[in-house]
A and B are shown apart, each in its own frame.
Chain A
Amino acid sequence: MAAKLLSLILIVAAAVAADDEPTVAKLLVSKQVLNKYLVENMDILVKYTLYNVGTAAAVDVKLEDNGFHPEVFTVVGGQLSAQIDRIPPQANVSHVVTVRSNRYGYFNFTSAEVTYKSSEDASEVIYSISSSPGEGAIVAFKDYDRKFSSHILDWAAFAVMTLPSLAIPFFLWYSSKSKYEKLSKPKKTH
């Protein structure tokens, strides 16, 4: 009887104590390049999504992407470094940046760096990196244009080139028709 009561008390105490787990934040960051084709001097859309999979809010989150060298990439929309004050637990935040490359060739999209504190009163900063999209081939604009542009000018040039083979027989027929009509008219009036 006493042993049963003691075991019950111990179980309850363990349950109460177990609730006091330390709450930590954990950020998983994904970096995605949302492009069908990577073409030089055209938009490259990069989306960073920060997911907090922990149980506490991530505080003082700093996202920094040093993978786009300023000599090659110009940022046309957004900024590559951003700070988010607080990401609540089980929530996500996304950040979108658009860059353009002035060079073509193979480019390795590297990870972005994220630093954050794992809870409101944490002192140490946790360093994390995002997923890396991997290697992509940035195509020269000339090649992309040859394959995908609407080629209206080319078709117009083709139409102009086919015009002689259509126009010359037409004019021959038209001139002989009008000559015949002129010849036939005076006969009728006589």
Chain B
Amino acid sequence: MVTKYITALFFIAFCSISYAQSCQNPKVDAASFTSLDATVVTQIAYITEFTLKCDNPLPENYALYAEVEGRPLTAARIGENKYQVSWTEEPTKARAGLHEIHVLDEEGWASLRRARRADPAATVSPLLAIQLQHPGSYSGPWVNSEILATGLSILVAYVALRNKSKILA
């Protein structure tokens, strides 16, 4: 009788501990940076720094992982409840627009790995989804100014010579 009571108590305690480990009602405050000038850098950087706010206090080493468009990343902790997710991309492959970052905690990440082993297209609902807006990077003008100047001067010369031959003829 007593042992049943004690085991029930342990079970409840264990459940509450494992329940409290993950973030309840996560709220995120994110700031992002992307390389806007592609003329001096060889890769485009996408950096998101975010602060995680939970209803329950987080355990000491709360690790977060992220997945962006199939790319697995680890979030680095840069301060109290502050994390950074960053990656680089080739300029030819980097597209402007919204990039969806799925952030998962350790349990979510482990369950995603398990699900992926069975089915490569499986997804797990993320702890939070951060959207990173990349306005596009400037990689030089469409037409070089010297080519434009040459083209215009050839056009002007052509028009002038044509009119001249029309007059002389």
What is the interface of chain A, defined by CB distance below 8 A to chain B?
A: 34-39, 42-43, 45, 47, 60, 63, 76-79, 81-87, 93-98, 148, 150-152, 154-155, 158-159, 166
Contact = CB atoms under 8 A, between A and B. Distances in A.
A87 B72 CA distance: 13
A45 B41 contact: yes
A19 B148 CA distance: 71
A122 B67 CA distance: 30
A79 B46 CA distance: 13
- Interface of chain A: mostly helix, strand, loop or mixed: strand
A155 B76 contact: no
B43 A34 contact: yes
B11 to A, nearest CB: 27
A45 B84 contact: no
A82 B47 contact: no
A32 to B, nearest CB: 9
B86 interface: yes
A98 B40 contact: no
B43 A45 contact: yes
Contacts of B42: 34-36, 45
Contacts of B144: 150
B84 A155 contact: no
Interface in B68-88: 73-74, 76-79, 84, 86-88
Given A43-B35, A77-B45, A150-B144, A85 B77 contact: yes
Given A35-B40, A79-B78, A155-B145, A45 B35 contact: yes
